[in-house]
């Protein structure tokens, strides 16, 4: 009985090893397919990644096109790479992507009427804050002046202080 069990275990381990080897060769072929693209032209790859760093992946929206592993980002990297090989300038490639996906692909949004609030909003809030603060402080000063002492109270204080000096 135990003998049979041990044999079964051996068979299972053997199969797992075969499976592991198959998987290893499989993933190796995957790598072998991807690698030449990078090795082909490291300068171009670097330029592509530099550009993709400033573009948003629309599938994983908090990732850049350079960093995302989504299939979509992979396709767009291929597109950028091909356009660079076709001697397109960075601006032309950005225009190409914006025409299809909108300004949303840009991490650095352009300055135009629809983005005025985005660009100048913080400044408006800041100026609003400064105005509120100035108004508040002025208001407070007048309040303090209003609550200043009456003539009678001042005389009382003076007499009290004189009394204190004599002691």
Q: Please state the closest distance from residue 45 (CB atom) to another protein, in A.
A: 20
Binding site for another protein (CB under 8 A): 58-59, 61, 71-72, 75-76, 79, 98-104
- Which of 96, 90, 89, 87 lies closest to 41, judged by CA? 87
- Measured from the CB atom, is 38 or 70 closer to another protein? 70
- Which of 72, 32, 31, 43 lies closest to 55, judged by CA? 72
Q: Please state the closest distance from residue 103 (CB atom) to another protein, in A.
A: 8
- Measured from the CB atom, is 71 or 108 closer to another protein? 71
SS3 category, 106 = strand
Q: Please state the closest distance from residue 78 (CB atom) to another protein, in A.
A: 8
- Measured from the CB atom, is 78 or 155 closer to another protein? 78
- Measured from the CB atom, is 5 or 99 closer to another protein? 99
* Cα 132 to chain centroid, rounded: 31
Number of H helices, E strands in the chain: 6, 0
Other C-beta atoms lying within 10 Å of the C-beta of residue 81: 22
């Amino acid at each position: 009985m135990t003998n049979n069990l041990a044999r079964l275990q051996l068979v299972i381990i053997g199969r797992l090893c075969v499976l592991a080897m198959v998987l290893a060769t499989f993933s190796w072929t995957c790598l072998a397919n991807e690698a030449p693209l990078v090795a082909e032209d490291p300068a171009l790859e670097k330029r592509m990644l530099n550009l993709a760093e400033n573009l948003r992946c629309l599938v994983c929206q908090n990732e850049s096109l350079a960093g995302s592993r989504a299939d979509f980002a992979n396709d767009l990297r291929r597109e950028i790479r091909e356009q660079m090989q076709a001697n397109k300038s960075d601006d032309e490639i950005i225009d190409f992507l914006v025409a299809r996906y909108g300004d949303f692909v840009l991490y650095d949004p352009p300055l135009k009427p629809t983005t005025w609030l985005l660009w100048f909003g913080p400044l408006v809030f800041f100026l609003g804050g400064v105005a509120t603060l100035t108004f508040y402080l002025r208001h407070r000063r007048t309040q303090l002046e209003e609550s200043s002492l009456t003539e009678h109270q001042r005389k009382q204080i003076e007499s009290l202080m004189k009394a204190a000096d004599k002691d």
